[in-house]
Amino acid sequence: MIKSYYCNSYQSKQMSSIENTHWSLSNKIYLRIIFLYLVLYIYPYGFEYIVELNTSDISFWKDLTIWFGQLFLGWEFDKDNLLNGFDSKYDYSRFLLIITLSIIGTIIWILIDSKLKLAYDSKIKILTRTILRYHVGLTLILYGLAKVFMLQFGEMDLNRLESTIGDYNGMRYLWTFMSYSKFYTMSTGWVEVIGGILLLFRRFTFIGSTIVFIAMANVVLIDVGYDVRVKMFAIHLLIMTILLLSDDFKRIINFFILNKPTKPFLDQPLFKKNKKIGYSIKSAIILYFIISSTINFSKRIESQTVNRFPSLTGYHEIEILVINGDTIQESNKSRWKNISINGSSYRPESLTITSVDKKKFYYSFEADTVKQTIHFHKFNDSIDNAYKLSYEKIDNNIVVFKGSYHQDSYWMKTKVKTLKDYRLTREGIRWITDLK
């Protein structure tokens, strides 16, 4: 008992905590601006980890943000296409509005506190850090799992392999780059998942924040460098992570740079007097997230990976196209140039036709690989309005299609390529480069 008492007394003297913080007026103002901005920023568009929630049903931002942007920024908005969340005028208008509301709210808050003379700044900071930990943690787990399961960027597919790099924008080029290597993409995903999980527990806040900071610093550099349309989203997550690390800055400098001893930082629980409430809320949040994410990712994995017709996957260059007995020349810009079957990793069991003038037409299809027939129609169209073709493989890379669409007859000869026919997907990781 005596030894335990002295140990606890020694630890309390050696540890620094939020409760020991000196709250000057500037600190109080800073804390309240951060708290208000964080709450207003997250609500409701930050709730990506609540899959069942339709944010448009509970949001009050749309009309207010448009009014603010029109009045103070002179911007015009397309109300039917606000591009919310994609570095749009709407986003920047909302950021500035939130900053304005946070400053006004802080002034009012400080004036009220000056009358009431209440001291609860430490509780506000604990609540702020708790919100930061769970928001950043759950968000990173969500995006990390999307990388682990190769859902965010997809996998290298036929459509990407046949595209011209010069036609890409930076974001599409990055998505193609990330889709090539499962090893790299899944590794970055696991880093985000591990860092996010650690943030859900107070005692691991520092190591979790450090891991997430490294991950998000890399994401921000990539998003800016490749002009990804969610730059501000990534920057916000990075700043939130820096805020979580801010109480450790002095300790980091003392330990890593000045070679001085440091005091451990003690993160206080949100419900200090009744920890059972805190544990119950934490358990409910984590349990919901696990169940919801399992259902959500199961659906996404099934929709992006299920392919009932892998033998049909191929990119067909149309060498001869005959419609109603007439051979369609390549000079005809509306002539079909190629057909991609299962060419997109985001949408297996889809078919894309590209014309000579580079227009693309998207279809869903059904096939019978025994009878060697394929029926395809535009998405949301009926099967009665489908192209009905049979196919025959002449050899490994020549396929002949014939059939009808309404009253027209079709016959075409194609030269097909599969993933094995491209050097990029044929060669994997080679540890010995000159060993064949």
Dihedral sign computed on CA atoms, order 189, 191, 194, 197: negative
Classify burial at 284, counting beta carbons within 10 Å of its beta carbon; exposed 0-12, middle 13-18, buried 19 or more: exposed
Contacts of 195 (CB under 8 A, 6+ apart): 137, 140, 144, 208, 209, 210, 211, 212, 215
What does pTM read for this prediction? 0.91
Looking at domain 310-422, its CATH superfamily turns out to be Calycin beta-barrel core domain (2.40.128.20)
- Buried/exposed code over 290-310 (b: 16+ C-beta within 10 A; e: otherwise): eeebeeebeeeeeebeeeebe
* Token pair 């079909």: residue: 336
230 in Cβ contact with 87 (< 8 Å):
yes
Chain mean pLDDT for the chain? 92
CA 287 vs. chain centroid, Å, equals 22
| Confidence label for 268 from pLDDT (cuts 50, 70 and 90) | confident
Q: What is the pLDDT of residue 7?
A: 43
* Token pair 């527990």: residue: 201
Q: What is the identity of the amino acid at 391?
A: Y
Task: Identify the three-state secondary structure at position 266.
Answer: strand
Cα–Cα distance between 338 and 335 in angstroms, integer?
9
CATH 2.40.128.20 region(s) of the chain? 310-422
DSSP state of 149: T
Percent of the chain with pLDDT over 70: 95
The yes-or-no verdict on residue 17 having pLDDT over 80 is no
139 in Cβ contact with 193 (< 8 Å):
no
* Token pair 């997230």: residue: 289
| Confidence label for 1 from pLDDT (cuts 50, 70 and 90) | very low
Cα–Cα distance between 39 and 42 in angstroms, integer?
5
Cα–Cα distance between 189 and 140 in angstroms, integer?
9
Task: Identify the three-state secondary structure at position 365.
Answer: strand
| Confidence label for 12 from pLDDT (cuts 50, 70 and 90) | very low
Any idea of the CA torsion for 232, 67, 109, 247, to the nearest 10 degrees? 0
Q: What is the pLDDT of residue 16?
A: 59
Nearest Cα residue to 425 out of 345, 348, 360, 347: 345
DSSP string, 282-343: HHHHHHHHHHHHHHHHHHHHHHHH--S-GGG-EEEEEEEEEETTEEPPTT-TTSEEEEEES-
**For residue range 131-172, what is the model confidence (pLDDT) as tens digits?**
999 999 999 999 999 999 999 999 999 999 999 999 999 999
Q: What is the pLDDT of residue 119?
A: 87
Structure tokens at 355: 């014309």
Structure tokens at 415: 């030269």
Cα–Cα distance between 313 and 392 in angstroms, integer?
14
321 in Cβ contact with 328 (< 8 Å):
yes
Q: What is the pLDDT of residue 18?
A: 62
- The helix (run of H) or strand (run of E) holding residue 274 is none
Cα–Cα distance between 212 and 133 in angstroms, integer?
11
- The helix (run of H) or strand (run of E) holding residue 362 is strand 360-368
Q: What is the pLDDT of residue 4?
A: 41
Task: Identify the three-state secondary structure at position 1.
Answer: coil
Task: Identify the three-state secondary structure at position 378.
Answer: strand
For residue 390, give Cα distances in angstroms to 242, 372, 412, 436: 60, 6, 11, 40
**For residue range 163-196, what is the model confidence (pLDDT) as tens digits?**
999 999 999 999 999 999 999 999 999 999 999 9
Higher pLDDT, 150 or 11: 150
Q: What is the pLDDT of residue 13?
A: 46
Cα–Cα distance between 90 and 84 in angstroms, integer?
6
The yes-or-no verdict on residue 51 having pLDDT over 70 is yes
Cα–Cα distance between 378 and 374 in angstroms, integer?
14
Q: What is the mean pLDDT of residues 299-326?
A: 94
| Confidence label for 381 from pLDDT (cuts 50, 70 and 90) | confident
39 in Cβ contact with 131 (< 8 Å):
yes
Angle, CA of 55, 56 and 58, to the nearest 5°: 70
139 in Cβ contact with 48 (< 8 Å):
yes
For residue 324, give Cα distances in angstroms to 223, 354, 407, 415: 50, 20, 9, 21
